[in-house]
Structure 1
Amino acid sequence: MRNKQTKKSVFMLSHLESGFTFVTTLISIVVLVFSIPFVSYLLRQVSVDNTMNDVSVGQFFIFMRNEVMQAEEIKLYPHQLKLSMHNGDEATFEKYGNLIRRQVDGTGHEIYLRDIKDITFSSFSYGFHIIITTVKGEKYDKKIIYYP
């Protein structure tokens, strides 16, 4: 009889080789699916310095300065500013809820700034001082000079 040579088979008896299997892939996907919501929650809780508030307050101060430059007469109250314009209108800046609004002759509702806890106006010899406190407790102040 003829001696047959046996060829090595593709079939393996031992499955001890390391590598990714379908089960390990499923387990890693399940871990990712459950951990992503927690990671997004943690990222939201980290306080990030938001410069948008700084920009909006700075823009408010620019608008206020421009209004004062156009005014003929300025009346200061502790929490209100009234500007008499050249055309006879009276513009009022005041805190309304948590907003700073502008009204012309007591009508209208133009919002200049949001999320405000307090606004204070104080006078000095060549202008006035505005102090704004936000609902987060941040304080901003600006001295606005009277222009002839």
Structure 2
Amino acid sequence: MIGSKNGFTFLEMLIVLLIVLLITSLLPLLLDARLFTYENVNGFHRIEWEIFVQQLKRELNESKQWKSNGTTLYLEKFTGDQVSFDLYRSSIRRQVNGTGNETALQFVENVTYTLTNHGIFLHVRATDGKTYEAFISRLF
């Protein structure tokens, strides 16, 4: 055959390069399978703690006043709703106007809320014995 050339064209090289880059970009995800596992299934987890603190910050900023009896936090929203956070069995539950049973944090042994003029000092002891503390302040 005259004019026949053996080898790859530029387009074929680009396709091969694209496939190689795609495989190498997915390789770390395949090798590091622990990214998709939940480390502590049967206990208190730090990520849940951070989400709970963020939720309390949001709730506090949406409230016109707050009070506590030490173990239960009561927030009065600008809308008139009464939101409470209390220890129920081994979870902190959130209720609106005394109804509902939304779990805000699990595997809790004890919780105390200390009120200040500018926020709330939160102290939680998990069922594994570790203690977690946070100060939640208002933005305004």
Q: Is 1:136 the counterpart of 2:128 in the alignment?
A: yes
- Point out which structure has higher relative CO (alpha carbons under 8 A, 6+ apart): 2
Q: Which one of the candidate residues 94, 99, 113 is aligned to 2:86?
A: 94
Superposition deviation, residue 144 in structure 1? 0.9
Matching residue of 1:120: 112
Give me the whole-angstrom Cα distance separating, in 1, the residues matched to 2:40 and 2:96: 32
Q: Is 1:78 the counterpart of 2:54 in the alignment?
A: no
Work out the number of aligned pairs and report it.
Answer: 100
Identity, % of aligned pairs?
Answer: 25
- Report the TM-score when normalising by structure 2: 0.67
CA RMSD of aligned residues (A): 1.7
- Report the TM-score when normalising by structure 1: 0.63
Give me the whole-angstrom Cα distance separating, in 2, the residues matched to 1:128 and 1:107: 23
SS in 2 for 1:88: coil
Superposition deviation, residue 146 in structure 1? 2.7
Q: Which one of the candidate residues 90, 95, 103 is aligned to 2:95?
A: 103
**Contact 2:67 2:115 (C-alpha < 8 Å) held by counterparts:** no
> In the TM superposition, what whole-angstrom CA distance separates every residue of 1:17-36 from its partner, at most 9, and x where no partner exists?
xxxxxxxxxxxxxxxxxxxx
Question: Which AA in structure 1 matches 2:78?
Answer: H
Give me the whole-angstrom Cα distance separating, in 1, the residues matched to 2:113 and 2:136: 10
Tell me which stretches of 4 or more aligned residues in structure 1 moved more than 3 Å: 49-52
